[in-house]
Amino acid sequence: MIPETGFLGMMLGATLGVQVVLLFLAGMSLWSWTIIFNKLVLYRRTKRQVAQGYEQFSNAEDLSEGLSVVSRDESSPLAKVGLMAVAEFRKLEKADIERDRKRMLVKDTLRRILRQGVNEEMKRLGSSLSFLATCANAAPFIGLFGTVWGIMHAFHSIGLSQSAALATVAPGISEALVTTAIGLVVAIPATIAYNYLLALLGEVETELVNFAGAFLNRVEREVSWATGATGSGVKKP
């Protein structure tokens, strides 16, 4: 039996246009909350991984030990960025190029591949965040569309009944205003979550950039052919 009063009864008795808007907003809300919880867990774990990994890398005795420590956690963005840099470094090391030319290329080559690695990780981590921004911007307007639709229906009811009594227009106006409220309920959490998650992502990016700088500095100090000193290259982590 369908209730005649209350929020559920009002929504079930609403016009088709208003119901479609409400269902659409409900879907946006469900998906946005799924993204919020997933990203919150992911970003907090990633922030801990990169902070600990960067500290361990900085405290390692040499580059090879630092890479070995970082690579233990394969899910860490530091491991992925570091392994990309090592792979590119080995390609350059084995390339049939004069050693002096290699010394000139190594810094710029590593800088580019480290930047690429950081960008790829940021792109991966930042996926789906744009949906939260879309919810924050679009949900109030979608709710407003439902409001306009409901008010139009209310005026249509006035014309059919030829009466402007409150009992005639109140149901249509109330269901119309509810859609605006629901739109705000969807948009406000999405806005807050988007800004908070973006701040967490910025902290992760800072740690990744710091790691890339530390990696490049260690290569310049420790790798023999890159510095012109005698010794060995980067060992496999």
The per-residue b/e assignment along 182-209, b for 16 or more CB within 10 angstroms, e otherwise, is: bbeebbebbbebbeebeebbeebbebbe
Per-residue DSSP letters for 151-208?
HHHHHHHHHHHT---HHHHHHHHHHHHHHHHHHHHHHHHHHHHHHHHHHHHHHHHHHH
Q: Mean pLDDT in the chain?
A: 81
Q: Measure the CA–CA gap between 150 and 233, rounded to whole angstroms.
A: 72
Does the reported pTM lie above 0.85?
Answer: no
Residues lower than pLDDT 70 in the chain = 1-14, 153-154, 156-172, 223-237
Instruction: Show the tokens assigned to 118.
Output: 């950081």
Computed over its alpha carbons, how large is the radius of gyration of the chain? 29
* Tens of pLDDT, residues 209-237: 999 999 888 887 876 655 555 444 555 45
